[in-house]
Amino acid sequence: MQTVAEIMTKEVVTVQETTTVREMAEIFGRMRIGSLPLVDQAGNLTGIVTASDLIEQGRPLHIPTVISLFDWVIPLESEQSLERDLKRITAQTAAELAARDVVTVSPADLVSTAAEIMSS
């Protein structure tokens, strides 16, 4: 059975928390890759930024739908959705744009195990 170590990229391009959105866009274009791991100063994985994150950042802000009833304004969507959108479009650095809930596998894991994790 094949292990992750046998097929993984060993020289990974990473970014730091302070890497700008513009710098990441240049890296994505130049390297023709779809994601950039975010690492701290010690090289520990702390998040990931994908090319899709940058595309999403350019999308216009969705104004939440509300119902006005007498003097009340009742939002039909969660405040978290608006906060997430505001954070996305105002992000200037990798730290502000990165997803922090990163799932990883070990080089010793089987490719089939990694595939199962990625598909779930």
CATH number for 18 = 3.10.580.10
Query: Is 120 within a domain?
Result: no
pLDDT in tens, 30-56: 999 999 999 999 999 999 999 988 877
Structure token digits, residue 105: 């596998």
Query: Is 78 within a domain?
Result: yes
Structural domain for 18, as ranges = 4-112
- The domain total for the chain is 1
pLDDT in tens, 3-18: 999 999 999 999 999 9
pTM above 0.75, yes or no: no
Burial, 17: exposed, middle or buried (Cβ in 10 Å; 0-12, 13-18, 19+)? Answer: middle
Query: Is 31 within a domain?
Result: yes
CB 114 within 8 A of CB 5: no
